[in-house]
């Protein structure tokens, strides 16, 4: 086979047949890995891990990940998106931690297509209409990183030149201090931009401001504007780690009550990317 599994037609066939991965894990028609079992899956992964090692440590993932073979000259890279609760055991040889994740994505890149180049996850138990709870969750992730081998690089992130930022963060930080339009500040200096690093208290104030008298603010397209915030930036010799908070409205359209239409679900998690 050219791939361990290919999203699209193959994913649909796997889902239709009830096969792919372990007896519990399977790929749905949209390419997401789901868990039909009673227990969370255990996932062992780290930046720089080869696809072969990923499958050795996680045999239940066989048949669920999109992995090009080593000798194939293809554009696509390693890709896995799990939309089910998992016990994450992270270890890249420098940074180690464990946490319960609500969802996780694992990807390669054009230079590391058969290995893990980036990981993004959201932690379990995302709160609804409780900004203070999501701030508490983010605080625990930051505390965990402060006690790890990762270095807090917040001051560098806020003050370094664009050239120095690119040397450390590569493509991820390649435009942080660059003013794209004369009327707009650089992304890291724009309070409304995701790349603007906030303290936890600044993030709390931002989230709390998104509801007035129980009514959620909305974007121009009508979606709930619950607010997002970058609250932590760390680095090791191997990876860039960012801690963030995201939000979304409740799905359901006209079937929702007024209260549900104004409810906000919050998520906190990390993105971990291989350094150049």
Name the residue ranges covered by the structural domains of the chain.
9-123, 131-274
3-class secondary structure, 193:
coil
pLDDT classification of 71: cutoffs 50, 70, 90 = low
Rounded Cα distance between 94 and 241, Å, is: 12
**Distance in angstroms (rounded) separating the CA atoms of residues 258 and 252:** 11
Look up the pTM and report it: 0.86
The whole-number pLDDT of residue 65 equals: 84
pLDDT of residue 15: 38
Note the pLDDT of residue 221. Answer: 83
For residue 118, is it left (φ>0), alpha (ψ between -120 and 50) or beta?
A: beta
Mean pLDDT taken over the chain: 87
**DSSP state, 197?**
B
pLDDT for the residue 63: 85
Give burial (CB, 10 Å; 0-12/13-18/19+) of 152: middle
Q: Compare 256 and 268 and report the one with higher pLDDT.
A: 268
Specify whether the CB–CB gap between 188 and 176 falls below 8 A: yes
């Amino acid at each position: 086979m050219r791939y361990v599994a290919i999203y699209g037609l193959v994913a649909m066939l796997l889902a239709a047949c009830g096969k792919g991965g372990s007896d519990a894990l399977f790929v749905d028609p949209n390419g997401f890995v789901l868990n039909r079992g009673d227990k969370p899956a255990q996932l062992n992964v780290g930046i720089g891990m080869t696809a072969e090692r990923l499958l050795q440590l996680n045999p239940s993932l066989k048949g669920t990940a999109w992995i090009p073979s080593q000798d194939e000259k293809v554009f696509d890279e390693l890709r896995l998106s799990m939309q089910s609760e998992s016990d994450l055991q992270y270890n890249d040889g420098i940074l180690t931690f464990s946490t319960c994740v609500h969802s996780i994505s694992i990807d390669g890149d054009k230079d590391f297509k058969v290995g893990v180049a980036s990981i993004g996850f959201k932690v379990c138990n995302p709160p609804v209409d409780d900004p203070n709870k999501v701030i508490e969750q983010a605080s625990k992730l930051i505390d965990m990183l402060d006690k790890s081998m990762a270095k807090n690089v917040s001051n560098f992130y806020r003050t370094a030149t664009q050239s120095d930022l690119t040397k450390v963060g590569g493509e991820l930080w390649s435009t942080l201090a660059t003013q794209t339009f004369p009327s707009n500040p650089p992304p890291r200096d724009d309070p409304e931009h995701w790349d603007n690093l906030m303290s936890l208290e600044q993030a709390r104030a931002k989230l709390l401001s998104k509801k007035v008298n129980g009514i959620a603010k909305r974007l121009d397209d009508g979606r709930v504007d619950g607010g997002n915030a970058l609250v932590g930036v760390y680095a090791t010799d191997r990876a860039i780690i960012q801690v963030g908070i995201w939000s979304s409205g409740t799905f359901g359209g006209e079937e929702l009550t007024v209260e549900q239409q104004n409810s906000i679900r919050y998520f906190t998690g990390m993105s971990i990317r291989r350094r150049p």
